[in-house]
Amino acid sequence: MRVYESVVNYLDSANVRLFAGMVGSTSAPYVVEIAARENMRFIPVRHEQVAAAMMDAVTRLEHRPGCLLTHGASGALAASTGIASAALDSVPMLVLSATQERQAMEKGWWQTSDVLQPMRSFVKWQTRVERPDRAVAAVRHALRAAVSGRPGVCQVDIPIDVSTADYDGPDFSKHEADIVVHRVLPDPELVSRVVQILNGADRVCLLVGGGATYGNASVVLERLADALHAPVVNTATSRGVIGEHHRLAFGPSGILGYEPANDVLQEADVLLAIGSRLSDLQTARGTLVSEHARIIQADIAPESLAQEGPVEVEVVADALSFAEALLAQLAPYSAEKSSLREKWVDSLRRRQKKWLDGWLSSETSANGKIAPVEVVSDLMRLLPKDAILTHGPGDHGFYGYAVPVSGRGAHLVSSRLGVMGCALGYAMGARLVRPGQTIVACVGDGELMHQIGDLETMARERLPAIVVVFNNFRLGSQRKRLELYGKPFGVDHGNPDFAKLAELHGIRGYRIDKPGSFSKAFADAMASGSAAVLDVIVNPESRPPRIAISREAR
């Protein structure tokens, strides 16, 4: 048996069944072997970054690694932005880079470059397999490292002469089961200290970060929020961990969030951060946190604690274990304390509704163009609660973030890296593992052009999603930044008719250029169950309610 056959056998035994990439000479043995198996699927794409985003989404939704398969140095480098995005968002994805033979590196042959070094700064673990008998062990270690502790991308580079060599190493597949995620239990004394602080608080804010998306913590975190009468604020990667239709859910805060969630942060006397780095995105570089607030931070990675500033109590634990430990020690609150917290939540809720109603009605169509809030309002009304939304970066993302989501992985976005060219791949990855749910990719025209070729992949592989294009014929979020320094340049551009382009690929296309017409088109696309592109011509002067510009202008 050859190495590539043994590697695929092992991945099969570990329940890694979904792969994506571009086909090339060095990955060919793996592609053919995977394609021959009924229980595995390889998705050929038109650009490797889209494949990376696809497997990123699969991994987030399945809570087990999807596998990105790259060929040669060029394929790995083309995928590198998608790999970096997954790595920085702590996604335990597997990257199998199939490269030229071992001596090619030594002699500098064609299509050869070190594919480990460029990714060393962001992947969690990586290795190059130099001996055939070590190949399966390397892949096995990568899968375990990816899901252990703080999750992350792991990379195994296998040269083609190793892949095609005879395999004489151990057969791990005979003893393999599902990949086990080891829990990290909190220090009981620290838990008791946290409970004392929570008992004395009047206004507790529960900050839920991306670390809470793994380990099935959703139900327990919701119980914790209910027990504390604590409003919940999310990061972009943790949206849906506690469904945003819940009365205590206030959505994302900070640079990628909204005023109602920011109010929660600013008014809380205790911030309980679970699986959150208290990042610059969530707290607007700390400007949203009261200097009088007591901060408690629990994270599985010790290096993430107090990274952004002093924290009163630091707890090393996974989200599920810490939440369970708190619930075990929390006693029922007095009627007075419960009433005080409920009054705060009620006040926040009233202000949230007033803000949202005001925002959704604040803009009307201008210049015959559609106001983006019309799209947001219609999505809020028409989407089922279990819909999955994907977003690219830019103004359209800030609009789309206002649509509530429920369920882990219901909001897929490149958060820390903020890379363009992921939303379509996320949508197709979501379709692979959530075939019965509505999937909507909210993209800008600039974002879509980064991945336009993979509309063909969506059609060919029958991975339907509804692509809503907020088309303003410009890089809107960057235009305001340029205006800080003078006359904008390089942000306005022309676009093809995206609806007609979709139809050329066999996908439903809708050109929506009249105010009031989005709702009917979207309902029609959703009812069809087919892939669709809705090219929505929006007012280019519209701006979402965000705080990033004012922060950056200082």
DSSP 240-292: TSS-TTSTTEEEE-GGGS-HHHHHHHHH-SEEEEES----HHHHTTTTTS-TT
- The tokens for 221 are 């975190």
Secondary structure letter of residue 37 according to DSSP: -
pTM of the model: 0.94
- d(Cα 18, Cα 415) in Å, to the nearest integer? 23
Q: Do residues 387 and 406 touch, judged by C-beta distance below 8 A?
A: no
- The tokens for 187 are 């220090």
Question: What's the pLDDT score for residue 548?
Answer: 47
- d(Cα 44, Cα 459) in Å, to the nearest integer? 12
Instruction: Kindly list the averaged pLDDT for each block of 10 residues, start to end, along the chain of length 554.
Output: 96 95 96 97 98 98 94 95 96 97 87 93 98 96 94 97 95 68 90 95 94 86 95 91 92 86 93 91 82 93 88 94 95 85 95 91 79 94 95 83 87 91 96 97 94 97 97 85 86 93 97 96 97 95 65 40
Q: Do residues 511 and 499 touch, judged by C-beta distance below 8 A?
A: yes
Which contacts of 346-354 are long-range, i.e. CB under 8 A and separated by 24 or more positions?
Answer: 348/231, 348/250, 348/260, 348/263, 348/264, 348/267, 349/247, 351/260, 351/263, 352/250, 352/260
Handedness of CA 160, 4, 180, 220 (dihedral sign): positive
Question: What's the pLDDT score for residue 111?
Answer: 82
Q: Do residues 522 and 544 touch, judged by C-beta distance below 8 A?
A: no
Nearest to 142 by CA among 174, 187, 94: 94
The three state secondary structure string of 308-328 is CCCCCEEEECCHHHHHHHHHH
Question: What's the pLDDT score for residue 343?
Answer: 95
**Distance (Å) of CA 152 to CA 65, 84, 291:** 10, 10, 33
Residue-wise pLDDT tens digits, 80-102? 999 999 999 999 999 999 999 99
- The tokens for 497 are 């008719």
- d(Cα 218, Cα 215) in Å, to the nearest integer? 9
- Domains along the chain with CATH numbers: 3-175 (3.40.50.970), 188-349 (3.40.50.1220), 363-553 (3.40.50.970)
**Distance (Å) of CA 226 to CA 44, 219, 333:** 45, 11, 12
Secondary structure letter of residue 371 according to DSSP: P
- d(Cα 305, Cα 297) in Å, to the nearest integer? 7
Alpha helices in 148-206 (DSSP H): 160-163, 188-200
- The tokens for 381 are 């009304």
Question: What's the pLDDT score for residue 366?
Answer: 67
Question: What's the pLDDT score for residue 368?
Answer: 80
Q: How many CA atoms lie within 13 A of 217 on its CB side?
A: 30
Residue 281 corresponds to which amino acid?
L
Q: Do residues 263 and 348 touch, judged by C-beta distance below 8 A?
A: yes
